[in-house]
């Protein structure tokens, strides 16, 4: 993976260094991003360096713009009328919002797992095969391979291998969410965005998904929004704290939780508000 920061002007290198204690390659670089829902200014001058193959957690009180920010990373906000983004977001050095970028390709590279499990009304198998199929794969053997590999990858294979033809709705909530993760893995993304993936799940399912993230980060860059601070502390290497549309602090997870530089961050992680 190419290290983009080396090509950037020094101020950005400083930014990258200030947000990173251990030097790693940059996967996504967010520079001076402002975002508007019509007149509502939802994100204010966001700057973040998201490192390759690590878990980056975004925390902050409800309504502070975490989901909005996450959705700028694969342009899901394009689906909403009247939104506007200024600034620059680049993936491996390429501008995501360049006119020539095809969102279909982008979303293939930057996949997303949503808050509520949202399997398609089809069989478990077809749910996973859907992504590869829309991108043109028809070879049955290859599809079988992908289904097995991604279900193993999302720690669901043992539970469902005998009922791949069963409706995805027959699975429990936690299983459905792991299915959705498998479905995302099936298009072989480089980045996986997760918007509060465990908030609708029981503690046991949550635990399994956290374990899964630990495995996935060997191959994928993960950005996870969570309102659960213990979870952020457990799974992530880097944490960003959002407040009222601003990114108040971004740094190593240990540092954010043990010695936050900002008063707001300290208040939030110590549970004074939220």
Partner 1 sequence: MSVAPPHSSLLGKQSGNVARRKAQNVVMLSLCMLAAGLAILVLGLVLFFLLSKGFSSLHLSLFTRPPDNIDIKKGGMIQSIFGTLVLLGIASCLGLPLGILGGIYQLEAKGKFASTVRFFTDVLNGIPSIVIGIFAYAAIVYPVAQAHPGTGFSAYAGGFALGILMVPTVMRTTEEILRLVPFALREASLGLGATRWRTMWSVVLPAARGGVITGIMLALARIAGETAPLLFTILGSEYFSTHAVLGGHAHVPTLNAPIDALPLRIYNYSQDVNPDRQAQAWAGAVVLISLILVLSIAARFATRGNMQEEK
Instruction: Kindly list the residues in this chain that would bind ligand ADP in the complex (CB under 6 A).
Output: 37, 40, 42, 60, 62-68, 80
Query: How far apart, in whole angstroms, are the C-alpha atoms of residue 257 and residue 49?
Result: 19
Residue 163, interface with partner 1 (CB under 8 A)?
A: no
Residues 51-80 that bind partner 1 (CB under 8 A): 74, 76, 79
Pick the binder of partner 1 from 121, 136, 203, 271 (CB under 8 A).
Answer: 121
Give the Å distances, CA to CA, from 35 to 113, 156, 176.
22, 37, 32
Phi first, then psi: give them for residue 221, nearest 5 degrees: -90, 125
Pick the binder of partner 1 from 142, 161, 169, 204 (CB under 8 A).
Answer: 169
Of 178, 208, 184, nearest to 128 by C-alpha is 184
Give the Å distances, CA to CA, from 108 to 100, 102, 152, 193.
16, 10, 20, 12
Give the Å distances, CA to CA, from 97 to 74, 77, 93.
10, 12, 12
Pick the binder of partner 1 from 12, 25, 101, 122 (CB under 8 A).
Answer: 122
Nearest to ligand ADP of 11, 62 (CB atom): 62
Pick the binder of Mg ion from 24, 54, 67, 90 (CB under 5 A).
Answer: 67
Per-residue mark of binding to partner 1, 101-120 (x: CB under 8 A): --xxxxxx--xx-x-x-xxx
120 binds, among ligand ADP, Mg ion, partner 1, none (CB under 5 to 8 A by kind): partner 1
Record the tokens describing residue 112, joined without a space. Answer: 């997303």
Of 75, 88, 108, nearest to 192 by C-alpha is 108
User: Which residues are at the interface with partner 1 (CB under 8 A)?
Assistant: 74, 76, 79, 81, 103-108, 111-112, 114, 116, 118-122, 130-131, 134-135, 167, 169, 180, 183-184, 187
């Amino acid at each position: 993976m190419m290290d983009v920061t080396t090509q950037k002007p020094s101020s950005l290198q400083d930014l990258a260094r200030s947000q990173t204690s251990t030097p790693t390659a940059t996967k996504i670089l967010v520079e001076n991003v402002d975002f508007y829902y019509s007149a509502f200014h939802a994100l204010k001058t966001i700057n973040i360096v998201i490192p390759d193959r690590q878990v980056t957690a975004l925390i902050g009180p409800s309504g502070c713009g975490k989901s909005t920010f996450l959705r700028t990373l694969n342009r899901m906000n394009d689906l909403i009328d009247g939104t506007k983004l200024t600034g620059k977001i680049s993936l491996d050095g390429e501008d995501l919002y360049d006119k020539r970028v095809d969102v279909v390709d982008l979303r293939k590279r930057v996949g997303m797992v949503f808050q509520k499990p949202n399997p398609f009304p089809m069989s478990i198998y077809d749910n996973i095969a859907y992504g590869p199929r829309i991108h043109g794969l028809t070879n049955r053997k290859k599809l079988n391979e992908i289904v097995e590999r991604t279900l193993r990858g999302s720690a669901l294979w043992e539970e469902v291998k005998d009922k791949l033809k069963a409706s995805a709705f027959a699975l429990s909530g936690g299983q459905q969410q792991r299915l959705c993760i498998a479905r995302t893995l099936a298009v072989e993304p480089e980045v996986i965005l997760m918007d509060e993936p465990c908030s609708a799940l029981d503690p046991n399912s949550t635990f399994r998904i956290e374990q899964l993230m630990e495995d996935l980060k060997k191959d994928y860059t993960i950005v996870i929004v969570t309102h659960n601070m213990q979870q952020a502390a457990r799974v992530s290497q880097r944490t960003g704290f959002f407040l009222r549309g601003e990114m108040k602090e971004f740094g190593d997870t240990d540092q954010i939780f043990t010695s936050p530089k900002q008063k707001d961050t300290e208040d939030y992680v110590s549970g004074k508000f939220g």
